[in-house]
Structure 1
Amino acid sequence: MNPIAEQALARAREFYSPGAGPNKAPTRKFWTTGDEQRLAELYGDTPMPELIKLFSRPDYAIYGKAASMGLKRSDAYLASEHACRLRRENNPGEASRFKKGQQPWNKGISFDCGGRSVETRFAPGTMPHNNVPVGTERVTDDGIRQRKVRDDGPAHRRWKSVHALIWEEANGEIPPGHIVVFRDRNTAHLVLENLELVSRAENMRRNTFHRYPPELKDTIRQLNKLKRAISEASDEKQDD
Structure 2
Amino acid sequence: MTRKPWTDTEIKVLKRFYADMPGAAIAAALGRPISQVYGKARKLGLAKSESFYNGPHSGRLTDGTLGVSGRFQPGIVPWNKGKPGSAGLHPNSRRTQFKKGEMCGAARHNYVPIGTTRMSKDGYLEVKTNDDHPVPVRRWVAVHRVVWEAEHGPIPKGHIVCFKPGMRTSVLEEITVDRLECISQADNMRRNTLHNYPKEIVDVIRARAVLNRRINRVQKHQ
Q: TM-score range by the shorter chain?
A: 0.3 to 0.5
Using the size of structure 1 for normalisation, the TM-score is 0.35
Instruction: Specify which structure has the bigger relative contact order, considering alpha-carbon pairs within 8 angstroms and separated by 6 or more residues.
Output: 2
